[in-house]
Amino acid sequence: MKIRLFKGDITQLKVDAIVNAANSTLLGGGGVDGAIHQAAGPDLLEECKTLKGCFTGDAKITKAYNLPCKYVIHTVGPIWRGGQCQEAKLLKSCYKNSLKLAEEYDLESLVFPNISTGVYAYPKEEAAEIAIKTVLKRSSKLTSLKEITFCVFDDTNYKIYQERLNDRL
């Protein structure tokens, strides 16, 4: 299993699937969610309407339409409420359930954004720790996935992920 770190636009990556940090309606929003919906085109919204939303911590998969990947795995991260409302457990579930879908679809490459660290205000350092720890813990059990990429958009998150990955790889 290869673990990578990439700084840039998740919608430009040619992989089997990208993970969308979605809201519970799955109908688009701001940040990564809005960028993915815009790049995929209106057919993504139409398919998402048929899914009837998604609970926090769960994940659902759709086609990718105009994106250069095959699928989009939509997961709903927790809104940060001070850490006393099961946020860590729910964020961990986002990664676990996204990996589970990737395996069910026999995907070889998957890209994760920084789930919940935008408007949901999850502390970046804690979110990165959960993301990396969850992915690395599960990586030995994954059979189809050959490459997982953490995609960040800014220098702050790049540095956070780089430090944590360097400590473990």
For residue range 36-68, list pLDDT tens digits in order.
Answer: 999 999 999 999 999 999 999 999 999 999 999
Dump pLDDT digits (tens) for 78-132: 999 999 999 999 999 999 999 999 999 999 999 999 999 999 999 999 999 999 9
Burial of 103 (0-12, 13-18, 19+ CB in 10 A): middle
- 140-162 as b/e, with b when 16 or more CB fall inside 10 Å? eebeebeebbbbbbeeebbebbe
Question: Quick one: CATH architecture of 2-168?
Answer: 3-Layer(aba) Sandwich (3.40)
pTM, two decimals, is 0.97
